Amino acid sequence: MNFWTDPIKVAYDWLLQIFTGWGLDALAADIILNLLGIVLLITAAMVLDIFLVWVERKVVARFQDRLGPNRVGPFGILQPFPDIIKLIIKEDITPEGADKVVFNLAPVLSMASVVFLWAVVPLASRIYGVDLNVALLYLVATGAIGTLAIIMAGWASNNKFALLGAYRMVANMISYEIPMVVALLIPTIITGSMSLKVITEAQAGYWFVLISPLGFLIFLVAAIAELGRSPFDLNEGESEIVSGYHIEYSGMKFGLFYAGELLHAFTFGGFMAVLFFGGWHGPWAEEYPLLGAFYFVAKAMIGYWVIMWIKYTVPRIRIDHMLAFNWKFLTPLAFILLMVTAVVHRALLDAPTGWYIAGMFLSNVVVAWITLEGLRAKSRRDRAALESVGAGD
């Protein structure tokens, strides 16, 4: 065993030897090393978040035919640091009549809810935090902390517009959690496990997007809604709700909400990679875990880029249309797909791999085709009803 084949184990043994050599008890050294690992993971996530600020601004600039940051550092890559300094030195304002404890805790929980998710993400074959056998339930439960942070921010601000913005955002997030959870159950049915590590390892031969492309699309739409990004950006409908639940926040407190949104978008890109695109799998990834971590980050960045692409391309949807789309279309479709996946998976469980992949893929195609035909029929009925009303007038 060397550093390239198992970097975490080699680094752990080396540091453990140093700490015990200083006279520390083995248990105390183990606790310190685990705490050090947590700090390093959080630090890596926060440094990545700084880089994402630059990526987001450069990408949207290209979409809008602008240059974006190009002054501070090569290609403007150091621009986030002056922005951080600006946020830190801005005046910290707490509204009169606000619940100070809840008001100050909300942005911390918003950021923490994203960082907590990285505890169960398998970055590589031998680089991961915790292998939970209920990791998907942990994902949903941790995401609820972000929802709680939003309602806390809106309620504690002592501002009716912030409270209304929080209600709108939470209604959206809770609604779209249902199809997202249903989409999460599809990899669970296929693998028989809720462990992200097991789900990733099961994709050694083929990616799950090949056998459930419709499940991936449902997860993508629900994830964007959970993030509150366009076309589901109810928290940023400035013309209607004056920037929503975080209108009263200034300085670095507002910066935490913004940083949490960017890191959350990348994190969902990572979950898309793990659940549907093989995670860390790639050439020589099993032998060299650092290479697997590179594959994972690359796939997560592609998912993050898709989320950005949709955000800066599609206009915002009205809230009643948004909720109707979820309850009347996306949620029923997710449940139908889940039942079809379970039935076809059980029927083809003992079939050869090629037949299994083809059968699962075709079942998704059939569900998508029936759905489109149903939408076309409804559209024709609606047009006929409108024409009959027009003829009567």
Q: What local confidence, expressed as pLDDT, does residue 209 receive?
A: 94
Give how far Cα 25 sits from Cα of 11, 30, 72, Å.
18, 9, 48
- Cα 127 from Cα 294, distance rounded (Å): 12
Q: Comparing C-alpha atoms, which of 130, 120, 126 is closest to residue 286?
A: 126
Phi and psi at residue 124, in whole multiples of 5°? -160, 180
Q: What local confidence, expressed as pLDDT, does residue 274 receive?
A: 94
Q: Comparing C-alpha atoms, which of 117, 383, 104, 153 is closest to residue 266?
A: 117
Q: What local confidence, expressed as pLDDT, does residue 22 receive?
A: 86
Mean pLDDT by 10 residues, the chain (393 residues): 79 88 86 89 87 88 86 88 89 87 91 89 87 89 88 90 85 90 93 92 91 94 85 64 78 87 90 93 88 93 90 82 90 95 92 92 94 90 82 61
Q: What local confidence, expressed as pLDDT, does residue 222 receive?
A: 92
Query: Where do we find the tokens 């692409």?
Result: 309
Could you tell me the two tokens for 178?
């249902």
- Cα 177 from Cα 174, distance rounded (Å): 5
- pTM for the full model? 0.90
Could you tell me the two tokens for 304?
């993050």
CA R_g for the chain: 23
Q: What local confidence, expressed as pLDDT, does residue 187 receive?
A: 94
Give the CA dihedral 70, 75, 81, 84, nearest 10 degrees: 50
Element (H, E) at 37: helix 26-63
Give how far Cα 136 sits from Cα of 100, 139, 183, 199, Å.
34, 5, 11, 10
Output b/e per residue, 103-122; b: 16+ Cβ within 10 A: bbbbbebbbbbbbbbbbbbb
Number of helices (H) and strands (E), helices first, in the chain?
A: 14, 0
Q: Where are the alpha helices (DSSP H) in 244-318?
A: 251-276, 289-311
Could you tell me the two tokens for 222?
């629900």
Q: What local confidence, expressed as pLDDT, does residue 237 receive?
A: 58
Within 10 A of 128 (CB to CB), how many other CB atoms are there?
21
- Cα 95 from Cα 74, distance rounded (Å): 40
Chain centroid to Cα 15, Å, comes to 33
Q: What local confidence, expressed as pLDDT, does residue 391 receive?
A: 64
Burial of 64 (0-12, 13-18, 19+ CB in 10 A): exposed
Q: What local confidence, expressed as pLDDT, does residue 217 receive?
A: 94
CA neighbours closer than 13 Å in the CB half-sphere of residue 12 = 16
